[in-house]
Amino acid sequence: MTKPEWAVRKKEEAGAGGYEIRLLAPGRGDDASCLRFPALLRAESREGERETVAVDSAEAAGGALRAAGKSARFEAETRWTFANDECPYYDVTVELAYTGELPSAWNVQIEADLLGEGRPDWMIPGAFYKENRFESNLRQYPRYDYEGGDASRMVSDYWAFRADRAALPAVFAWNDHLCGALCADETSATGLNGLGFRGNADGTRIWLNFPYREEPVTFVGSAVPAPADIAAYTFRPGERVTLHFKAYVGSPDPHAYNPFVRQMYKLHKSGHALNPWMRLEEAAELTAHGLYTWHYSPEHRILYETAAFDREFNNNVKGMGDRPHMHVGWVSGAPYAYSLLTYGAKNGNKDYMEAGAAVIDKVASGLAPCGTFWASWIVDKGWTAGWNPRRDWLQARTIAEATLFMARALKFEKERGAPRPEWEKALLSNLRFAAGCQREDGNFGSYYNSGSGTVEEWDGAGGMLWIAALLEGASLLAEPAFAEAAVRAGGYYEKFIRNEYIYGAPEDVHLTPTSEDAYNAVAAYVALYEFDRNDEWLALASSAADWMMTFRWSYNLEFPRHSLLKQYDYRSRGADQASTSNQHLHNYGLFCVPEMLRLWTYTGDKYYLDRTRDHISCFLQFIAREDGDFNAYKGMVTERFYNTNCFQPKGMMLTLSHSWCIGLILYASQEALAYADDLDLRGVAE
């Protein structure tokens, strides 16, 4: 990439004094399209007073740009140092002095304008993508609207957030000519930092706050927002504070975030250590015990979706802490039964084998009139359609995931010499449905009528995982038409990857960009590459993996001193944000651990190995090692670690064990063993 250049320009606005700093777009000879810093910083007091520290002087010295300025109560000296490693960027240090005569609380903002034509797109990794929520979305959470909107309904042309909402504390903006980004650490000398952006007819701006601001409202996980939250730092007379940030200018390519994300990860990796509590073998042993002991119901042949940590409380509320439901995929069902079955067979545990097979028998028995699996089974209700916009709709991803693991379980049993005709019948029924409902352009649709099989909604990428299921089914059942359907689908769903906006995977967050969409894309396109070795599929798998890493924490959060996660020294590096709507850390990325490791071997890109190691290591924490460990029972695993002020206070943990969280650790621990030397988790865990 061409080295970006800086330019210092005299301010052109009438009556404006001083200069502005411009970082030029790569490959452009002029500064009409650039990242422009109109001032060194702006400050707002708790009482509403405002000051601007203009660029009074700027000069190049020793390979760096030095700029300085002052206002009534602040003086700032900045040093802009160019670096070029994974990508070109600027490392900026701000020496800020408070010259006021009395202590005063202020919020400091460093901002940059994205100059050039075109309406903006946005990314705050893990927290905000493009408009972030469609107008028709059934779930309420922050949405961007160029025209403004109604903040009470969480629609606005500007947003500012706490840094701990972001997997990487960076804000990206695009126009037709360039991508610009600012990145800071989670915290600074002023406290918890913040990120923000604004885009409307007046222009496009991104910024960093020291400390954070959340506005125009605060998203706390519900449809009703909390008021804006404006933090302030109390400066003392004569106090000096040092702030740091990074600035980046890239091409207008939607994938232009990737070099900078990789660069920031490389810097964070050296300063944010991993802390797995155990090795893969111990994790598998514990989670097999936990899944069987706390979630398997021999009476109903299901894996309960949740089990309460507090068993006494659970008894007092008539078992309501234990959810006697089972989805066939996603949050319970076939994937985790498969993991229990395979672990039992490999380790000579007959109870685990029988339990896993019984659950898969149950799933296979639950075919809806349309020919697919029902989505869930509930005690006293039987088979149901799941958590969907309508009671008679089935969601494609849930069904496709159950089908994929039904195929894997059937293959495993056939190789052991144990035919399962009912499993094969159910598998064939689902795959024939998928191939039959596919549109001419390759789209499988996202929601189906459980009775008629009619596709009720075509939007989204919820059907993408059918690709992997069809390919594995084609090989296992010798049905080449299934593979042909998968290839057609690969051509259709690639647009979501190229647009860097994949949405529609989970049932509970309607048409929302999620980390789970990224996992499905990686699994689907690695499978396509393995089918016909088309390099285009491998490139798409890599691109999806890069997008997935925008949901993955590159750093360790600073949790409140007395919180559980702080006391247990929980390291968040490697955890994934569930979605922009469900803002908490989760382990669902373990679903595509085998595909990510194979992607690394195919591409030779060590970044994929490193970040997969991070994810595995992160979730070798908080597996209950014995009864009473973090107030749980042996083998239990939570679904949620709270990283910010969403749903619960930062540093808390949901006190429910989830079958999918246990099951995915069991699954990934077994799959990763073949790569144990490359992952070097033994060395990390010791």
Do residues 375 and 395 touch, judged by C-beta distance below 8 A?
yes
> Which pLDDT tens digit goes with each residue over 396-427?
999 999 999 999 999 999 999 999 999 999 99
Three-class SS of residue 269?
Answer: helix
- pLDDT (average), residues 288-294: 98
Do residues 578 and 600 touch, judged by C-beta distance below 8 A?
no
- pLDDT confidence bin for 684, thresholds 50/70/90: low
Q: Would you say residue 15 has pLDDT above 70?
A: no
- Report how far apart, in Å, the C-alpha atoms of 563 and of each of 308, 428, 558, 568, 575 are: 20, 49, 10, 9, 18
- pLDDT (average), residues 487-511: 96
Q: Would you say residue 308 has pLDDT above 70?
A: yes
- pLDDT (average), residues 34-56: 97
Task: Specify whether the backbone of 165 is left (phi greater than 0), alpha (psi in -120 to 50) or beta.
Answer: alpha
Q: Would you say residue 29 has pLDDT above 80?
A: no
Beta strands, E only, 13-87: 19-24, 34-37, 41-45, 50-53, 57-61, 64-70, 74-84
- Report how far apart, in Å, the C-alpha atoms of 477 and of each of 405, 407, 423, 424, 428 are: 14, 9, 12, 8, 8
Angle between helices 593-603 and 659-672 (to 10 degrees): 30
Q: Would you say residue 1 has pLDDT above 60?
A: no
- Token pair of 584 as six digits: 């908490």
- pLDDT (average), residues 234-250: 98
Backbone phi and psi for residue 20, each to the nearest 5 degrees, phi listed first: -135, 150
> Which pLDDT tens digit goes with each residue over 571-628?
999 999 999 999 999 999 999 999 999 999 999 999 999 999 999 999 999 999 999 9
| Confidence (pLDDT) at 686 | 47
Distance CA 40, CA 53 (A): 6
Q: Would you say residue 318 has pLDDT above 80?
A: no
Average pLDDT value over all residues in the chain:
96
- Report how far apart, in Å, the C-alpha atoms of 109 and of each of 104, 191, 193, 286, 319 are: 16, 14, 10, 48, 50
Q: Would you say residue 497 has pLDDT above 70?
A: yes
Q: Would you say residue 13 has pLDDT above 70?
A: no
Do residues 604 and 631 touch, judged by C-beta distance below 8 A?
no
Q: Would you say residue 362 has pLDDT above 70?
A: yes
Do residues 464 and 521 touch, judged by C-beta distance below 8 A?
yes
> Which pLDDT tens digit goes with each residue over 510-547?
899 999 999 999 999 999 999 999 999 999 999 999 99
Do residues 306 and 659 touch, judged by C-beta distance below 8 A?
yes
Can you name the residues that pair with 516 across neighbouring β-strands? Answer: none
Distance CA 233, CA 541 (A): 44
What is the sign of the dihedral through the CA atoms of 609, 611, 614 and 618? negative
Q: Would you say residue 2 has pLDDT above 60?
A: no
| Confidence (pLDDT) at 248 | 97
| Confidence (pLDDT) at 16 | 59
> Which pLDDT tens digit goes with each residue over 325-348?
999 999 999 999 999 999 999 999
| Confidence (pLDDT) at 683 | 55
- pLDDT confidence bin for 682, thresholds 50/70/90: low
DSSP state of 391: T
- pLDDT confidence bin for 27, thresholds 50/70/90: confident
For the chain, the 3-state helix, strand and coil shares in percent, each to the nearest 5, are 35, 25, 40
CA neighbours within 13 Å on the CB side: how many for 401? 31
